[in-house]
Amino acid sequence: MKGFLFFLGSIFRWPVQRPNQFLTLHLYFVAIYVITFFIKNMGFNFSNLIFTSGMIAPIGYLICNGLPLDCLDYKSSIQRELNTQN
């Protein structure tokens, strides 16, 4: 339960600590929705592929840029956050 509450708190702290990243990610999601909407309205059948690949792309980007493999480990996440605050 402590781990869940820690990650929930991290989600709530993220927009305040890094508003530029938060806004960029949400603008990206809105852009994917708009692109998918227009492609679907034009009658193309691959709008689901565009939407799915667009939603998975940020995770792929993070993994390629060195997302730590233990990013969901409770103890290592706390240690990493304490190191960044000091």
Please check the confidence at residue 86 and state whether its pLDDT lies above 70.
no
**Structure-model confidence comparison of residues 66 and 31, the more confident one:** 31
85: pLDDT confidence band, cut at 50, 70 and 90?
A: low
Summarize pLDDT for 37-83 with one digit per residue, the tens. Answer: 999 999 888 889 999 999 999 888 888 888 777 766 777 777 777 77
Helix, strand, or coil (residue 46): coil
Mean pLDDT computed over 18-47: 92
**What count of other Cβ atoms lies within 10 Å of the Cβ of residue 40?**
15
Q: What percent of the chain is helix, strand and coil (3-state, nearest 5)?
A: 80, 0, 20
Task: Answer yes or no: pTM beyond 0.85.
Answer: no
